[in-house]
Copies of this chain bind each other. A is one copy, B any other.
Amino acid sequence: MLKIKLGLSEVIAFIFLQGKGGNKPFQSDKPEGFLQVERTLNFHLLPKTVKRRVYALKRLQLQSANIEAKFYEEVHELERKYAGLYQPIFDKRRDFVAGAVEPTEEECEWQSDREEEDLAEDLQKKAALEEKQADSAVADDPKGIPEFWLTIFKRVDMLEEMLQEHDEPILKHLQDITVKFSEPGQPMSFTLEFYFEPNSYFSNTVLTKVYKMKSEPDAADPFSFEGPEIIDCEGCKIDWHKGKDVTIKIVKKKQKHKGRGTVRTVTKEVPQDSFFNFFNPVKASPDGMDEDLDFTLGTDFEIGHFFRERVIPKAVLYFTGEALEDDESVRLLLCVIQDLDDEGEEEDEGDCDPTVSI
């Protein structure tokens, strides 16, 4: 059955971030700027009396936008309320994943066509399986679901792109990801919390990323209001154990003394790609003119929203792969857009203010 996901709005967001980056991601079959023409011409040919009435409608439209803002605030309240209802389920998930609690027989009962096929295939794979189990008796009954979150990171393209080889041993210690909504009356935001078991890399037990939102019409452009937008984000300080920080690497450089000609080796730290840079996001360019910066930030907003909307609520479906197919289709769509975007680069006129409505 064909399903269309509300959650896909964040992907469209991504499309548009790319689109605005290069302004025209796809070519129009209409003459350049025809909208502008269509728009003003007609309007100017209207009798003054009719123009008056159109202005009256626009004033009414402003009232609608303000009501809409209230609506989205109530939806946010509803999301907070339901976060509470989901929590016991997410807590159980955390305990099963970490191995803190073993599910009862009843809690594990599962039978579906898919699984039946699986069982059939199982037999075929039995040999290979027993082999594998022979290798390591412990693998027979590991604690909880090993590498549950790391597996998800590896499977979801958007996350896998951030993942570096040196991140993997660290993410094996990731035990839960949760989202917390801002309290009522507080500025609207949500916080992603990444819980780690004690490990040899850093002393933090939880790493956080706060996404700040805005849910009111922009005075300068009220009609474009479509609900809450992510407008900023904030990471956290990771207390790396000595020499364990994977976000930097040490490079040695030989330096020759001008006068004496003696050579000495100096070491300096340079940034290194890592998922953990996610907790040290770039800041938006003040004038919104640095497209690369704002594109990076826009992508960060996408990832934050993707964690909140898809990965956290449906983690097991990303682990098993059941949630991947549609996301993959969209992913491929993004590649298409990216290509078209690159082609259209020279037409670039778009501003890059990286806000993402959700």
Residue among B27, B39, B50, B71 making CB contact with A146, cutoff 8 Å: B50
A57 touches B316 (CB 8 A): yes
| A244 on interface, CB distance cutoff 8 Å | no
Interface size class of A (residues with CB under 8 A): 35 or more
B43 touches A16 (CB 8 A): no
Distance (Å) between the CB of A33 and the closest chain B CB? 10
Chain B residues contacting A44 (CB-CB under 8 Å) are: 118, 121-122, 125, 129
Distance (Å) between the CB of A35 and the closest chain B CB? 5
The chain B residue with its CB closest to the CB of A144 is: B53
Distance (Å) between the CB of A36 and the closest chain B CB? 8
B35 touches A17 (CB 8 A): no
Known: A12-B12, A75-B75, A141-B47. A335 touches B29 (CB 8 A): yes
| A166 on interface, CB distance cutoff 8 Å | no
Distance (Å) between the CB of A347 and the closest chain B CB? 13
Residue among B67, B70, B322, B333 making CB contact with A337, cutoff 8 Å: B333
Task: Please give the count of copies of this chain that the complex contains.
Answer: 2
A45 touches B226 (CB 8 A): no
A54 touches B320 (CB 8 A): yes
The chain B residue with its CB closest to the CB of A323 is: B223
A26 touches B92 (CB 8 A): no
A145 touches B107 (CB 8 A): no
Known: A60-B93, A61-B317. A141 touches B49 (CB 8 A): yes
The chain B residue with its CB closest to the CB of A133 is: B47
Contact code string A307-348 (vs B, CB < 8 Å = 1, else 0) = 000000111110111111110111011011100100000000
Chain B residues contacting A319 (CB-CB under 8 Å) are: 54, 57
Docked CA distance A358–B5 (Å): 8
Residue among B4, B42, B49, B86 making CB contact with A226, cutoff 8 Å: B4
The chain B residue with its CB closest to the CB of A340 is: B336
Docked CA distance A118–B58 (Å): 15
Residue among B6, B78, B121, B315 making CB contact with A357, cutoff 8 Å: B6
B333 touches A15 (CB 8 A): yes
Chain B residues contacting A6 (CB-CB under 8 Å) are: 6, 9, 226-227, 357-358
A8 touches B1 (CB 8 A): no
| A139 on interface, CB distance cutoff 8 Å | yes
Docked CA distance A155–B41 (Å): 13
B67 touches A82 (CB 8 A): yes
Residue among B28, B45, B122, B323 making CB contact with A129, cutoff 8 Å: B45
| A97 on interface, CB distance cutoff 8 Å | yes
Apart from A71-B82, A223-B317, 11 more pairs, CB < 8 Å: A2-B17, A2-B350, A2-B353, A2-B355, A3-B16, A4-B355, A19-B329, A40-B121, A57-B319, A58-B316, A59-B108
User: 26 A–B contact pairs at CB < 8 A?
Assistant: A1-B353, A1-B355, A4-B16, A4-B226, A5-B227, A6-B358, A15-B333, A16-B329, A25-B333, A26-B329, A26-B336, A29-B332, A38-B155, A53-B144, A54-B320, A55-B110, A55-B115, A56-B108, A57-B316, A58-B110, A61-B317, A64-B89, A71-B78, A71-B79, A78-B78, A336-B340
What 3 A-B pairs come out closest when comparing CB atoms?
A39-B321, A56-B103, A55-B110
